[in-house]
Amino acid sequence: MRSILLSRRGLLGASAAGIAAFSHRPRAFAASPPFRLTAGRRTLEVNGKSAPVFGITGPDGTPGVVLDPGQRFAVTLANQAGEDTIVHWHGQTPPYLQDGAVETGGTLIANGADQGYDFVARPGTHWMHSHHGLQEQMLMAAPLIVRTAEDVRADAQEATVLLHDFTFRDPAEILAELGGHGGHGAEMPGMAMPQSSAAPETMAGDIDLNDVEYDAYLANDRTLADPRVVRTERGGRVRLRLINGATTTAFWIDLGALDGTLIAVDGNAVRPLAVRRFPLAQGQRADVLLDLKEAGAFAVLAQREGDRRRTGIILATPQAQIAKVASEADSAAAAVDLSLEARLAAVQPLPPRRPDAVRRIALTGTMTPYVWSIDDRTWRDHQPLVVSHGQRVEVTMVNRSRMAHPMHLHGHHFQVTALGDTRISGALRDTVLVPVNGSVTIAFDADNPGHWLFHCHNLFHMATGMMTEIVYDKAA
Ligand SMILES: [Cu+2]
């Protein structure tokens, strides 16, 4: 098994052997030239079968990028994927033309071409993924970690875990079987679509879960049959950087025997909270501190909501025996919910201020026909949320559909200010779950002018149209 040793007190140098993917060893300071990322193709072995997938890798072949404190996001993205692409820097707050979304002014990168990016990096656990077609389903996703000076000083080994849902099938075929036509809602509203034969969605009372069936669930490209093993020190401290990069799957993170302390969500510090099992919706991140008091091997698991299937990695102290962990839990997990959200509080909340602009949107759509929308409009007929530069904006999202939607706003981090009718001073985030029959209110400062996508992070919901934009020009 390959280990993913990470820097502890900066002891591991660049030449340390065995550092494979997802290493956090500081890379050379890259003030110039820009860090080079390649969006390319690779082959993954899953369930004993090889599968062609995409990947986004740095010069040393490891996925994604880890930036040092103060380092700019100065990146040249080389497209070697064999087709057009564009990559979104999820969690970053760049000028909007560098956001990585064609719909809001970004430029598609042709195969063989490069594109440059240069902006102030926002610290935290973030990620990058294709924002073109269904490439994200084929694993065009990678971590984007920006460390703070405090992270570097902290006596903690860092381990990044990128979760994914994996299929051997062509994602376009899955979308077609769902009855969706893609292209952000090029379908005719109200047109009868065949009901999906591919995805017997899990029924849990009044709600639909898991609209796509997968062949495997991956943590750092591996299943539990052959998981990533992170060697740790006994008595050591580990900082997990968990990223849900799955396209349609929400997970329950299960720390098993370990007591965790949640310290950040979506790259933003929260008041430390003791956790053992908590939800992580598509697009969301969570940073968790673990103290390995005892020697042994400890699984960090991610179990699919409404299902027994799970994935994960193993933390193992030296010489610890690593027992096999079953790929299925004893019982199905519940649907993800707002149980964690209600307990989160930002370390640096937005300054108190009355909102200048208040908007309310309904999350709409159905499984049959498979069309997802906002205010019953797909992207093709979307109504932009127009606000003004400098405003405090509050948006209430009311879920009128039978599926939960993890809603992501590009270019901003918002504070969760109400769950239903209950006001909270919640976490700062860029992605929040809006459960069935629920509503969530968020507030943000309109401090990054441009056009910003605001969409469901279920890839197939977005592909069939569940997307709008927030728009404001620079104040004169
Ligand atoms: Cu959705």
- 324 near 341, Cβ under 8 Å? no
Q: From ligand 1's centre to the CA of 84, what distance in Å?
A: 25
77 located within any domain? no
Q: Into how many domains does the chain fold?
A: 1
Structural tokens at position 385: 């949320």
Q: From ligand 1's centre to the CA of 410, what distance in Å?
A: 16
pTM for the whole structure: 0.90
Q: From ligand 1's centre to the CA of 364, what distance in Å?
A: 9
18 located within any domain? no
- 405 near 461, Cβ under 8 Å? yes
442 located within any domain? yes
414 located within any domain? yes
If you average pLDDT over residues 428-438, what whole number do you get?
Answer: 97
Tokens 């104040």: give the residue: 475
Q: From ligand 1's centre to the CA of 95, what distance in Å?
A: 26
Q: From ligand 1's centre to the CA of 437, what distance in Å?
A: 13
Residues 6+ apart with CB under 8 A from 465: 184, 185, 187, 365, 371, 372, 373, 377, 378, 379, 380
- 427 near 415, Cβ under 8 Å? yes
CATH of the domain at 403: 2.60.40.420
DSSP per position, 28-52: PP-SSSPEEEEEEEEEEEETTEEEE
Mean pLDDT of the chain: 89
Residue-range definition of the domain harbouring residue 372: 357-472
464 located within any domain? yes
Higher-pLDDT residue of 425 and 211 is: 425
Q: Return the closest-CA partner of residue 131 out of 407, 455, 430.
A: 455
**Per-residue model confidence as pLDDT tens digits over 352-383:** 999 999 999 999 999 999 999 999 999 999 99
448 located within any domain? yes
**Per-residue model confidence as pLDDT tens digits over 291-327:** 998 999 999 999 999 999 999 999 999 999 999 999 9
223 located within any domain? no
Is pLDDT of 407 > 60?
A: yes
Phi and psi angles of residue 151, each rounded to the nearest 5 degrees, phi first: -60, -40
User: What's the longest Cα–Cα distance across the chain?
Assistant: 64
Tokens 């140098």: give the residue: 13
Q: From ligand 1's centre to the CA of 374, what distance in Å?
A: 10
Per-residue confidence (pLDDT) for residue 215, from 0 to 100? 97
Q: From ligand 1's centre to the CA of 282, what distance in Å?
A: 10
Tokens 């025996």: give the residue: 321
